[in-house]
Amino acid sequence: AMRKKKPSKLRRIPEFASIEEEAAFWDTHSTADYEDEFAPVRVRFAKRLSTGVTIRLDPETLQKVRTAAHEQGIGPTTLIRMWVLERLKQKEGSPHE
């Protein structure tokens, strides 16, 4: 008896209400299950960043930042820059702050 191949379920990536909701989803799902939904994108790199800022963090906070960055496969300065840009974008979006 020949077994018929199971039709693969058509999985759709859901719409997410927040970055946190999306992060929680991908923490429990594999991107391999959704490969057919991905498409190549054109990437533009930011102009060379020319101005630096020094921030002082206590060792415990710095370690938390390094750990969070490592979990995302990026450097701590990149993560901090992303956080600052996200916060500024949030602030622009809410005029009552």
- pLDDT tens digits, 1-53: 555 555 555 668 888 999 899 999 999 999 888 888 888 888 887 777 678 88
| Rounded (5°) CA angle 17-23-72 | 140
The terminus-to-terminus CA distance of the chain in angstroms comes to: 68
User: What is residue 9's predicted lDDT score, i.e. its pLDDT?
Assistant: 59
Name the residue with tokens 């020319």: 50
The pTM (predicted TM-score) of the whole model is 0.46
> DSSP label at 37?
G
| pLDDT for residue 80 is more than 60 | yes
| pLDDT for residue 57 is more than 80 | yes
- Give the closest residue to 33 by CA, choosing from 25, 43, 21: 25
